[in-house]
Structure 1
């Protein structure tokens, strides 16, 4: 990651900014700071410092990590986590998905963050910054137009609190989802963000086999209606947020006690829904490790057949995090709305393939999904006939052409 690791590197900052910090064809001044105060030797205790905001605002929560060596701030990292989990703000910006320059900014967010970090390393004091407005903008740092108040206030908070140990997890984005849609048509997922070894964002959500709004959004828009329909104490998204907050507090998805097999708990005040799915998925995500950087646009993508044929309408749902396809589902929606989806029917033995197939439909569908997760490209498949059979996927004898075509259609918006 992009950090300034020593005080010596700051002396070269002016040259770097002349090359990369230009806006509107004008040359950036040769120094990044204006009359910085001299650093004081041995001011801070050596170690790792960390502070984060208490809550998300406009979808983001900011945090600062500082490394002190020989009594001086050697590096500083200003970052952000999104309430939906996934890549941190630096990674999101560096991938081009945050897109500040497209909106007319002089530089991307992570580039401006680097200059604010460099200013702190040079001044060695988070209070040596002047703001020109209540929003926290400053003219002290050349090439920086974003508000920097959050960064410097968090830096002071971290330094005031003293050194802390890093968390146990590797920094990055994490994701896991249930293997299939349930009888109720929902499939759940957990998306996490780790910075400085700490879980700083967690999102528990659900996707419906028929597409449409995710469960968080559906509930927030008042369309899921747990309070009205089920007399619940709070809506689904409100209870989900409390479960997420509990994980952020405990930093361990196994630190929860269940009072029944369904997965309900008394550990989280105000939560009556079963939470076992969320904590088990969070653990699965952490066990898998961080998501590698990919080339797609983050989001949830869905495509389905326009009409039913032979009693079924097929769909493909795809989840992209950190630019990588991390969740895939191929399923069939029954024309008879009283029956569950094809995955469930196949798993329960209510839908059986003809003798000679290499496994039940749900098992073969999962292998086709795994192929897409591995290749990351729905066009990386060869067919041996017009029906859409393929020898590329071991253990799959059903036609898969429909699935990969739907996946390709769904991902059109992810390019």
Structure 2
């Protein structure tokens, strides 16, 4: 009889142990520190973008417009904290927002717009900061207008697409110059022309360059336009490698690439260089004026 009781006690003890083990496996582990598994998103969200300054501009100037779009986006803590929807002029100099703020782009007075360009741009910029996504916008037609932003009637599609392009490309390196428009002009005419240079700086980098010349006899005519119209036929009459405006474009491109007007070597005192392919004209005047213009950007 005693042996039977002992057996029954052992069985009861084993059953109790099995029940205890089962309860321990079903009870979830404590998570007082809020930790989650590696496959789940953190409770406070992940950063959407890498911190830095992002920039993109339209590749070419439109044939019917002196301005092309330029967008800067600043990201801090993974979030877009500011945006700059702006315009670059083909002649360099101040940006579109600077020109508008100075009253020299009178959309309200002359065009009957709801607000000036820089004011509408600010509203569009605020919309991007609010939505944090340049694709989160609908357009009312092919002209790039939207009714999603109150107080904005300008075409904004170009800007939001540039913001998307900038964010996809990654942060840029901010340059050494102060943002703004810079210009310089020769003091006197030489051989009927007086050279001038216009530069635009955004995010510390030169983003637009214009080298041109004014005509002593006709102030309305520029050297570029005369060359483009065939009134300065360097190829036809002088046997040059290319007309002046074509060579000038290559010189401008060189400065955009080097970002430094002193980064050029001349082959002689006449200001010719072999550092720029396809250019045989004298370029020293251009680089000297560019250097002078950028003195205010240091």
Partner of 1:54: 59
Alpha-carbon contact 1:170-1:197 (below 8 Å) kept: yes
Pairwise CA distance, 1:255:
2.0
Partner of 2:131: 123
Count of aligned pairs between the two proteins: 250
Equivalent of 1:148 in 156, 160, 165 = 156
In structure 2, C-alpha distance between the alignment counterparts of 1:234 and 1:209, rounded to whole Å: 24
Unpaired runs of 5+ residues, structure 2, are: 1-44
Partner of 1:79: 86
Pairwise CA distance, 1:273:
0.8
Bigger proportion of residues as helix: 2
Render the CA deviation track for 1:251-281: whole Å, top value 9, x for unaligned: 1112222222212222222222111110111
Pairwise CA distance, 1:174:
0.8
Render the CA deviation track for 1:113-164: whole Å, top value 9, x for unaligned: 1111011000000111112222322121122111111111111111112222
Higher RCO (C-alpha 8 Å, min separation 6)? 2
Partner of 1:251: 259
Pairwise CA distance, 1:233:
2.6
Matches within 5 A, 1:14-413: 42-57=47-62, 58-101=65-108, 102-182=110-190, 184-212=191-219, 213-289=221-297
In structure 1, C-alpha distance between the alignment counterparts of 2:111 and 2:242, rounded to whole Å: 38
In structure 2, C-alpha distance between the alignment counterparts of 1:222 and 1:98, rounded to whole Å: 31
Alpha-carbon contact 1:41-1:72 (below 8 Å) kept: no
Q: Counterpart of 1:192 in 2: which secondary structure?
A: strand
In structure 2, C-alpha distance between the alignment counterparts of 1:171 and 1:288, rounded to whole Å: 10
Alpha-carbon contact 2:179-2:297 (below 8 Å) kept: no
In structure 2, C-alpha distance between the alignment counterparts of 1:104 and 1:271, rounded to whole Å: 46
Structural RMSD (CA): 1.7
Q: Counterpart of 2:80 in 1: which secondary structure?
A: strand
Q: Counterpart of 2:235 in 1: which secondary structure?
A: helix
Alpha-carbon contact 2:123-2:149 (below 8 Å) kept: yes
Alpha-carbon contact 1:205-1:216 (below 8 Å) kept: yes
Pairwise CA distance, 1:48:
1.5
TM-score (norm 2): 0.79
In structure 2, C-alpha distance between the alignment counterparts of 1:135 and 1:269, rounded to whole Å: 39
In structure 2, C-alpha distance between the alignment counterparts of 1:285 and 1:162, rounded to whole Å: 30
Q: Counterpart of 1:259 in 2: which secondary structure?
A: coil
Q: In terms of Rg, which structure is larger?
A: 2
Render the CA deviation track for 1:182-223: whole Å, top value 9, x for unaligned: 2x1222111111111111111111123333312122222221
Unpaired runs of 5+ residues, structure 1, are: 1-39, 291-415
Q: Counterpart of 2:200 in 1: which secondary structure?
A: strand
